[in-house]
Amino acid sequence: MTTDTAARRGPYDVLFRHVLARLDPEQAHLLTLRALSLAHAVPGAPRLLRRATGTPDPMRPAGTGRRVLGAEHSSPLGLAAGLDKDGELPLAFLDLGFGHVEVGTVTAKAQPGNPRPRSFRLVGDRSLINRMGFNNHGAQALAHRLAAARRTERGQRAVIGVNIGKSKITALEDAAEDYRFSAGLLAPYASYLAINVSSPNTPGLRDLQSVEMLRPILEAVVDESRSAARRLRREVPVLVKIAPDLHDADVTAVARLAAEVGLAGVIATNTTISRPEELRADRAEIERIGAGGLSGPLLARRSLEILRLLRAELGEEAVVISCGGVTTAEDVRERLAAGADLVQGYTAFIYEGPSWPGRIARALRR
């Protein structure tokens, strides 16, 4: 970490090391969301947040940002799914400087997720391991929250993607209808839909990445998005989110299927089940933590490889959102240069703090 970076992050770095790092990661997550919610509810606070982070005014005329998936993004960096699972604070995260926010993962039925503890920090690697298991209040509850947000002028302009997954109690053979149900409820409020078949924390979910099992799911969600588009008179793009652990041939096969079925594109990548040798954390500690998806800087190389594979296979028309191991503005530039239309981050936000998306956006504008 450079001195300049430390200086910019100073107060948050102290807060993280002396307070948040001593709390259970999930408890720290909930406290952070609560604090942001309270701060954002204060009259005039959204404007102050945007001023502090250098975020452009969302009410400015169009034509000032990057246009992707039918919407304008003030920054190419967005917030990946997982941080705001139930869509409680998408507008607040946008006011911190993200160009878009992907809420979820949400499932058709509310579910508690896996037993705690289920979230772990590898501080020396600036990484996380989680096995949350799609804990969320369900698609119906999310639809109500997003409907309320969309009724405001600010919410109508907001770029909010919705990430949907399979309910744990739903059998794999019934997965397509489970995804269809969520898509039908949420498409009217989504800037785009993201189909999550790549989390390692729902038993059997990654099996759905095989072309034979994936096809009916993609077709079901695309069918619902098209029905919504006819009612809304606007497109509801659909993307699929894939794992970094897929072999190159499987990445290519999924890309071809996505194009054949009519998806708008692919999000790459989710967390990894691997534990790279480059991890500095003690191996005994990693063993103690056990199963879960690893996120953080060590995903960068594979995520970039998959981005290049996808761009070569899909051509220039399809959208590719690159996610995994993004920390700096240079990381974002590298992904854009390699063919990404948009970039997403999550883990860096935990370690860098709430000023992170605004710093990235300003650096990219410069």
194 pLDDT higher than 60: yes
In total, the chain counts a number of residues equal to: 366
Whether 114 has a binding-site annotation, put simply, is: no
Q: What single-letter DSSP state applies at residue 63?
A: S
Whether 82 has a binding-site annotation, put simply, is: yes
pLDDT band at 7 (very low <50, low <70, confident <90, very high): very low
Catalytic residues: 199
Whether 252 has a binding-site annotation, put simply, is: no
Instruction: Say how far residue 148 (Cα) sits from the centre of its chain.
Output: 21
Q: Rounded distance, CA 333 to CA 326, Å?
A: 10
The pLDDT tens digits for 128-148 are 999 999 999 999 999 999 999
Higher pLDDT, 10 or 300: 300
Paired tokens of 124: 């020396």
Residue in this structure with the two tokens 């001023």, named with its chain if needed: 51
- Give the chain's mean pLDDT: 89
Residues 6+ apart with CB under 8 A from 291: 131, 200, 201, 273
Whether 132 has a binding-site annotation, put simply, is: yes
Higher pLDDT, 341 or 365: 341
Whether 270 has a binding-site annotation, put simply, is: yes
pLDDT band at 64 (very low <50, low <70, confident <90, very high): low
**Residue of 108, 135, 106 lying closest to 29 (CA atoms):** 135
pLDDT band at 1 (very low <50, low <70, confident <90, very high): very low
Residue-level pLDDT at 32: 82
Q: What is the pTM of this model?
A: 0.92
Tell me the residue type at 215: R
Whether 269 has a binding-site annotation, put simply, is: yes
Paired tokens of 116: 């705690």
Whether 78 has a binding-site annotation, put simply, is: no
Between the alpha carbon of residue 286 and those of residues 70, 114, 244, 283, 325, the distances in Å are 42, 18, 19, 5, 19
Domains and CATH numbers, the chain: 11-364 (3.20.20.70)
The pLDDT tens digits for 87-99 are 999 999 998 999 9
Strands (E), 274-341: 293-295, 319-323
53 pLDDT higher than 90: no
Mean pLDDT of 108-131: 95
